[in-house]
């Protein structure tokens, strides 16, 4: 049995659930009504536009469309990460952008070309998988950078004391890099722990709804979760590993942002 298609009317009913959220927010005196409405509106518009673009691309497959979509995805993901972490120097920004682009593209290529055995430029596989992989890399990077910068700010006096007694900046900053990497990986690993018992993941659920055999959906879900964990680890580690080196000069002075 294939997927049951929803009419516009059936689809519109789901928005009634937002009234429940709005009611609870009002009772709890949470003044985020505008944010909820704006987020819902933007999500709807963005996903509808993405759907229209994907419908065209899948109906007219061409390698350039796949490459252009991945480039757009990478660009917006990088801008989103930088937008949440203002004040980073240009070299650090470059490390973040290159880390996200390279790690994401390499993992997507390995997944599609090697694991699935499809052409990397096949939009049916590459674009949706890229969305999951780049999206999680973006979230991991945002969390890692936030943790890294907040930790530096909180420990500024201690860091300056260590510099004063001659400790090398590399030895001071590396523990902060490691801590930020651990923080970025924890949500993904915790999610993996609960899968199959507490929750059925989105990709697996979508495939089952579309008529895919449960075991096939499970194999894809396990593979994508390993790919997501890898891309988060690679992108965060490389961004911070190369980025933290831009925070001190040849005189071993750390430049706080």
pLDDT in tens, 38-97: 999 999 998 899 889 989 998 988 999 999 999 999 999 999 999 988 888 899 999 999
**Confidence at residue 9, expressed as pLDDT on a 0 to 100 scale:** 85
CA 128 – CA 101 distance, rounded (Å)? 16
> Coil, helix or strand for 26?
helix
Q: List, as one string, the DSSP characters of 121-159.
A: T-HHHHHHHHHHHHHHHHHHHHHHHHHHHHHHHHTHHHH
144 or 191: which carries more pLDDT confidence?
Answer: 144
224 or 256: which carries more pLDDT confidence?
Answer: 224
pLDDT in tens, 14-36: 999 999 999 998 888 888 889 99
Average pLDDT taken over every residue of the chain? 87
What would the mean pLDDT of 114-133 be, rounded to a whole number?
91
**Confidence at residue 190, expressed as pLDDT on a 0 to 100 scale:** 87
Contact 248, 169 (CB under 8 A): yes
**Confidence at residue 222, expressed as pLDDT on a 0 to 100 scale:** 85
**Confidence at residue 213, expressed as pLDDT on a 0 to 100 scale:** 76
CA 25 – CA 41 distance, rounded (Å)? 18
């Amino acid at each position: 049995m294939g997927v049951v298609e929803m009419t516009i009317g059936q689809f519109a009913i789901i928005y009634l659930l937002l009234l429940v959220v709005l009611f609870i927010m009002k009772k709890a005196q949470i003044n985020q009504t505008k944010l909820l409405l704006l987020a819902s509106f933007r999500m709807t518009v963005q996903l509808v536009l993405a759907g229209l673009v994907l419908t065209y691309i899948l109906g007219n497959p061409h390698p350039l469309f796949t490459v252009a979509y991945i480039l757009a995805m990478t660009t917006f993901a990088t801008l989103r990460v930088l937008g949440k972490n203002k004040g980073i120097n240009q070299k650090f920004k470059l490390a973040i952008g290159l880390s996200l682009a390279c790690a994401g593209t390499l993992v997507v290529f390995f997944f599609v070309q090697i694991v699935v055995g499809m052409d990397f430029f096949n939009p049916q596989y590459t674009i949706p998988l890229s969305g999951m992989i780049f999206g999680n890399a973006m979230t991991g990077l945002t969390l890692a950078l936030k943790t890294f910068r907040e930790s530096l700010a909180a420990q500024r006096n201690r860091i300056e004391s260590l510099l004063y007694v001659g400790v090398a900046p590399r030895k001071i900053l590396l523990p902060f890099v490691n801590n930020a990497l651990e923080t970025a990986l924890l949500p993904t690993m915790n999610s993996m722990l609960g899968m199959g018992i507490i929750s059925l993941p989105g990709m697996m659920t979508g495939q089952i709804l579309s008529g895919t055999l449960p075991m096939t959906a499970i194999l894809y879900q396990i593979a994508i979760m390993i790919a997501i964990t890898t891309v988060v680890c690679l992108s965060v580690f490389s961004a911070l590993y190369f980025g933290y080196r831009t925070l001190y000069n040849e005189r071993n002075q750390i430049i706080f942002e």
